[in-house]
Amino acid sequence: MANIRIEEKESSSILPWILGLLLLALLIWGALELFGDDDDIDDVVTTEEEYVPTEEVAAGIDDVDYAYRNAIVAYMDYTNDMTGEMGLDHEFSHNALTLLADATDAIADGRNVDLTDNTGRARELANEITKDPMATNHADMIREAAMNITESLGRIDTDAYEGVAGADIDMLRNEAMAINGKTLTLNQKEDVRTFFGAARNVLSKLN
């Protein structure tokens, strides 16, 4: 009978298996690290969402703060483009002065600064310039309203912001004084616009 030669198969190397398992372990570890970071982020977000306000905040401090920021945005939006906005009805100057007074009052309320109603007088003047389109004292009233608001913003800056907008307040005061009360407003449109532009710079510092 013929002898049948049976060759034993060489045992295949287990090295690739070991390397594969190590690679798999590294992938699992990396995934756990990644998801672990996400869990940390989720914890932070959850903590912020579950913040419990103090009694002072709950009493309305946050609401006041939110209101004054909205008042600033309202003025900024309205005065964003002042090209060709001034006419005999003085609607633009009236609205800009009113919104600026509103923002000034809102900041003062939010920062507990007493303005002794300077902005109330500014609103009266803003309303007055819309009553008689042919009156010749509109510029004088706009100048007075601008000065009242400027002094109020200066007080807020000093009392609540440690003078951070001091240079801008000085510029705003100069622009208010540059409005000539004896000259028709429509003949000094740029001076009025420049004042409103300078007020934007001040509000951006007190925001």
| pLDDT tens-digit map of 157-166 | 999 999 999 9
Is 10 part of any domain? no
Is 200 part of any domain? yes
Query: pLDDT tens digit string along 55-96?
Result: 544 454 455 566 788 899 999 999 998 876 677 778 899 999
Residue with the bigger pLDDT between 129 and 27: it is: 129
24 and 91 in a single domain? The answer is: no
Is 126 part of any domain? yes
141 and 129 Cβ atoms separated by less than 8 Å: yes
Residues with Cβ < 8 Å from 179, sequence gap 6 or more? 139, 142, 143, 146, 188, 191, 192, 195
101 and 46 in a single domain? The answer is: no
Q: What angle do CA 90, 168, 89 make, to 5 degrees?
A: 0
pTM over 0.85: no
